[in-house]
Structure 1
Amino acid sequence: MLQSVEPLSNQSISSPSPRKLWLAAIKPPMYSVSIIPITTGTAVAFGETGKINWVVFITFLLSAILLLVWENLCNDVFDSETGIDKNKAHSLVNLTGKKNVIFAIGTICLLLGIGGVLGISLWQQDGSILILIALCCILGYSYQGPPFRFGYQGWGEAICFFCFGPLAVSAAYYSQTQTWSVRALVASIVVGVATSLILFCSHFHQVADDIAAGKRSPIVRLGTGNSAKLLPWVCASIYVTTLICIGLGAFPIWTALVITSLPATWKLCTLVNEYHDYPERVQNCKFIAVGLHFWSGICLGLGFIL
């Protein structure tokens, strides 16, 4: 999905280069999904306490990235078993033909990620964040993993919201303060919605494959037209929530910097509205959503730090 769409020439499309396929399989931009919840929770903690434990922050950040690697690798393996990725040239399983190796690497990343969180818990003599992250992992597995495969039932966006929103942000905040915060919880709603948008947008170009594999994603259920109409309202909730919290005094005025991500929102909604039923035109909207998620998350966290 990372590769750009090649223009039609003589009724054919040139094949993507191996480099582009590997970049698409590894998905470098997607790892902001694991970074933003940790930076947001830590930023809220800094805003309230004026200090950051950098060892905890860096350990948690690396652990979150490893856990997302695990989830991405395992999702490739599980999707290969349902046949939904048969037309996905940049699936790691399709690229390597070694499903067991991919699964083993993912498992190693899971153990290392959990090990980092466990280390923080043992150091602080408090298992709260370990419980939260374990719950994230369980939900993450249930997304594509058998026998649950909740993503195939249309629950993927909700799972993303809770894993990368309330659970991860609250865990990051707690790792710094060993207390809970309503402010961090509200901030996590903004992050969770922005994360779910990425998954929501990833389905526009693969409706046919989803239907063939029996995957009832929200795009399949609503249709691409209705989903395109819903998208601006979901995006607007990010800004409305932030502005309401500023008005109520829950967020500092500097969090209004989130508004600087509006160009990405406009680009995303305009593209999807115009090309929602043209898979080859809309396939990269997911990465515009990644940009929206990254900049809104960075600006939100920066607002709490300032």
Structure 2
Amino acid sequence: MATAAQWIQGARPRTLPAAIAPVLIGTAAAYELQAFRPLNAILAAFVALFLQIGVNFANDYSDGIRGTDEDRIGPMRLVGSGAAQPDQVKWAAFGAFGLAMVVGLALVVITQAWWLILVGLGCVLAAWGYTGGKNPYGYMGLGDVFVFVFFGLVATLGTTYTQAGQISPPAVVGAIGTGLIACALLMANNVRDLPTDAAAGKKTLAVRLGDRHARESYVLMLGLAILLVIVLAPAKPWMLIVLLLIPACLMPAWLMVNGKKRKGLIPVLKQTGLINLGYSVLFALGLVLSRGF
């Protein structure tokens, strides 16, 4: 039976900043629109966290029963390592999804935006379908697209909308930026697992691009995310504060391009998660300061 520490590790806490980042950006965008709603922001954060934990357990379960994780290099997987029974991990995923839906429903009731129920259902289905079901889209190289859409556009713009009832250009730019960094996080994970994924028939985007181009795409996604704020600078000069994040990107970018050993890429996951969190904090700070001047 898996220990509490193993369950926490199985939830993959290093990926959780990717869930918080879009909520911070979306909330800051709402603040700029003079529509900051603290309760709505907190509820959105819990929805994002539960969805992220759910998709992590769902991936653990689905990859585990397919045998994809048998020779995994990265952090321990509950099913693949045999620490937990597949059904236990599956129900942990369902439990997290259930909590996300309950909190999300509370948010819908508060905002009276009932159509968001469909968005929430889409998020859960996308989370499960990444590696679950008969034709998981993560095995077709479409995982990056869905991560960009749901952990970038939907999470950020949804947060802004549930507070302000509208979206704004800064919210869109921030959504694209944090979505790209979330994709970079997934790319770092998939480059590390490239040999085992290819052998298991899991054709991630990294497998399709090949090792070299996959590594280069990581750097490209980080660069685009950070430089995108320049389009907001003419009207909001404080947004250039995001450029302070560039030095933090140099080490993980170097490791991705030059790291030869797959295990050497494991720290890149944590670093990229922190970059996403730092991006969201600086982006939000830039919006707050821009409103003040």
Could you tell me the TM-score, scaled by structure 2's length? Answer: 0.90
SS at match of 1:216: coil
Q: What does residue 58 of structure 1 align with?
A: 42
Q: Which of 36, 43, 46 pairs up with 2:31?
A: 46
- Residue 67 of structure 1: how far off its partner (Å): 1.6
Unaligned runs of 5+ in 2: none
CA contact (8 A) 2:10 2:56 kept: no
Going from structure 1 to structure 2, the CA distance change for 1:287 and 1:300 (only over 3 Å counts) comes to same
Q: Deviations over 1:146-202 (max 9, x none)?
A: 123111111111110000111111110011012233431222001110111000011
What pairs up with 1:16-27 in 2 under 5 angstroms?
24-27=9-12
- Residue 92 of structure 1: how far off its partner (Å): 1.7
Following the alignment from structure 1 to structure 2, what is the Cα–Cα distance between the partners of residues 128 and 304?
28
Could you tell me the TM-score, scaled by structure 1's length? Answer: 0.86
Following the alignment from structure 2 to structure 1, what is the Cα–Cα distance between the partners of residues 184 and 261?
19
SS at match of 1:97: coil
Question: Which is further off, 79-88 or 278-287?
Answer: 278-287
- Residue 20 of structure 1: how far off its partner (Å): 8.0
Q: What does residue 153 of structure 1 align with?
A: 140
Question: Which is further off, 230-239 or 211-220?
Answer: 230-239
SS at match of 1:33: helix
Following the alignment from structure 1 to structure 2, what is the Cα–Cα distance between the partners of residues 274 and 124?
48
CA contact (8 A) 2:181 2:222 kept: yes
Going from structure 1 to structure 2, the CA distance change for 1:235 and 1:119 (only over 3 Å counts) comes to same
CA contact (8 A) 1:74 1:106 kept: yes
CA contact (8 A) 2:193 2:262 kept: yes
Q: What does residue 70 of structure 2 align with?
A: 86
Amino acid at match of 1:90: M
Going from structure 1 to structure 2, the CA distance change for 1:278 and 1:169 (only over 3 Å counts) comes to same
Please tell me whether residue 299 in structure 1 is matched to residue 282 in structure 2. Answer: yes
CA-atom RMSD in angstroms = 2.0
Unaligned runs of 5+ in 1: 1-17
Amino acid at match of 1:76: D
Following the alignment from structure 1 to structure 2, what is the Cα–Cα distance between the partners of residues 128 and 183?
24
Question: Which is further off, 228-237 or 113-122?
Answer: 228-237
- Residue 22 of structure 1: how far off its partner (Å): 5.7
Q: Deviations over 1:2-60 (max 9, x none)?
A: xxxxxxxxxxxxxxxx89866643322211111111111111000111x4221211122
Amino acid at match of 2:166: T
CA contact (8 A) 1:154 1:216 kept: yes
Following the alignment from structure 1 to structure 2, what is the Cα–Cα distance between the partners of residues 71 and 166?
17
- Residue 118 of structure 1: how far off its partner (Å): 0.8
Please tell me whether residue 256 in structure 1 is matched to residue 256 in structure 2. Answer: no
Detail structure 1 runs of 4+ shifted over 3 Å in the superposition. Answer: 18-24
Q: Which of 167, 173, 195 pairs up with 2:182?
A: 195
Following the alignment from structure 2 to structure 1, what is the Cα–Cα distance between the partners of residues 213 and 111?
48
SS at match of 1:283: helix
Amino acid at match of 2:10: A
SS at match of 2:233: helix
| Percentage of identical aligned residues | 20
Following the alignment from structure 1 to structure 2, what is the Cα–Cα distance between the partners of residues 96 and 302?
42
Aligned residues: 284
CA contact (8 A) 1:136 1:168 kept: no
